[in-house]
Amino acid sequence: MNPAELRASLSLASVQSLRMLGLFMVLPVLAVHARSMEEGGEPMLLGLALGIYGLTQAMLQLPFGIASDRFGRKPVIVLGLVIFAVGSLVAAMASDLVMMVIGRGLQGAGAISAAVSALVADSTRESQRTKAMALVGISIGAMFAVSLIVAPPLYRWLGIGGMFTATAVLAAAAIFWVIYVVPAAPQRPRVPLTREQFGRVAADPELARINLGIFALHAVQVAIFVVLPGWLVERAGLAIADHWMLYLPVVLLSFVPMMPAVGWGERRGRAKEVFIASVAMLVAVLVGLALKPEGVVLFAVLLFVFFSAFNILEASLPSMVSRRSPAEVRGAALGLFNTTQSLGLFVGGAAAGVVRSTWGDAAVFMAAAALLGAWLLAALWHRRWSGPAH
C-alpha cells in the first residue's frame, strides 16, 4: 500500500473503531442493567433493546449507501455519526426500556458501514483493497476484545447512562476525524442511481452469493453466542466473570494468520482457494462444537480456528463486492451487502433461540453448520472476483 492508501485505510479504520467501541462496550452489561429498569422484566422489550440496533441498521444501510453515491461518502458518514450520537444520548437518559429501545434504534439508524466501505474502496487500488478492508476488520475485532475488558469497570464507575454518554463522545470524536483527518477520495462521477443500474446490482448472481455469505457469517456469529457462554461454564469450568480471559487472547491471536493468508492469496492468485478453505474451516469448527467438547484447551483451539477463518472472510467479502460492482453504484452494492449483514445479526439470534428451545443446545451448532454448508456449496460457483457486473 502506498502512503495515501495507508492513511485512508487507517483513518477510516479509526472512525469505525470509535463507533464500534461505543457500541460494543454496552453489550456485556446492558441485559444485566435492564433488570433494574421500569418494565425490565418484559422479555420482548429486553430483546428489542438488544436487537433493534441490527434491525434499524439493516433497514437503512442501502439508503445510506445509495446516498453516498449521490452526495459523497464523507457527508453521509458524518450524518450517520450524528444520528448515532443522538441515539446514544437518548439511551443515556432512558429511565425505562421503551426509551432504551428508541435510543438503540436511533443508534442503528446511523448506518454508515456501506459508506465507509465504499470510501475505503474509492481510496485504494484493487490489488490493495482486501488489505485495506482487513485493517478495518482488525480494528473492529480489536474493539470487541477491548470492550470485554473495559465494560465491567466502566459500568461500575459511570453507570449505563455514563457509558452511553461516553459513546456519544466517541461518535463526536469520529465526526471530527472524518472531517479533518480522513483524506478526500479521488473524484468520481456522482449521478443518481437509476432503476436499471440498481436492478443489475441486485440481480447479479456473484453479488447475490456474496450477500448470502455475509448473512450466513453474521447469523452464525450471533447464534453461537446463544449457547457458548453457558457451555464455557458447564463444559470448560470457566466462570462467567472469567470468560474474557479466554475470549481476549483467542480473538487477538486470531488476527495473526489473517494478513499472511490474505496476502498469500492475493499474491499467488489463490484468493478463491483461501476463501473456500476458510468457509470449510468454519463448518468443521461448528461440527466440532456440536459434538459437545470438554475443557478450556479444546474450546480455545476451536474458537481460535473459528475467529481466524471468520476474520479472513470478514476482510475478503467487502473487497469482493467492491471489485464486482461498478464504481458509480459501489455504495448501493455495499448498501445491499451491509443490509444482509445486519439482517444476519438480527435473524441469527432470534433463530438460535427457537432452535435451542425446540431441539437443544447442540442443534444450534448443527443448524449453523448447515447454513454455512449451504454457503460453501454456493461459494464453489464463484468466478474470480475481479470484474464488475455489466
pLDDT in tens, 335-377: 888 889 888 877 887 788 788 878 989 999 999 999 999 999 9
- pLDDT confidence of 301, banded at 50, 70, 90? very high
The domain locations on the chain are 1-180, 197-383
Which is higher by pLDDT, 304 or 142? Answer: 304
In this prediction, residue 122 carries a pLDDT of: 87
Pick the range with the lowest mean pLDDT from 191-195, 269-273, 386-390.
386-390
Please report the pLDDT score of residue 41 as a whole number: 55
The residues near 180 (Cβ < 8 Å, ≥ 6 apart) are none
Decide which of 310 and 332 is more confident. Answer: 310
Torsion sign, CA atoms 363, 368, 371, 374: negative
pLDDT for residue 251: 83
C-alpha cell at 143: 474493539
Comparing CA positions, the residue from 32, 45, 23 lying closest to residue 155 is 32
Answer whether 1-180 and 197-383 agree in fold: yes
Is domain 1-180 classified as CATH 1.20.1250.20? Answer: yes
**Residue 40 reports pLDDT greater than 70:** no
Question: According to the model, what pLDDT value does residue 248 have?
Answer: 82
More confident residue, 314 or 169: 169
**CATH code for the domain defined by 197-383:** 1.20.1250.20
pLDDT tens-place string over residues 44-89? 676 677 778 878 888 998 899 889 888 889 999 999 999 999 999 9
Residues 6 or more apart whose Cβ sits within 8 Å of residue 330? 69, 118, 121, 122, 322
pLDDT mean across residues, the chain: 84
Q: What is the pLDDT of residues 203-254, one digit of tens each?
A: 888 888 899 999 999 889 888 877 887 898 889 998 867 877 888 888 889 8
pTM (2 decimals)? Answer: 0.76
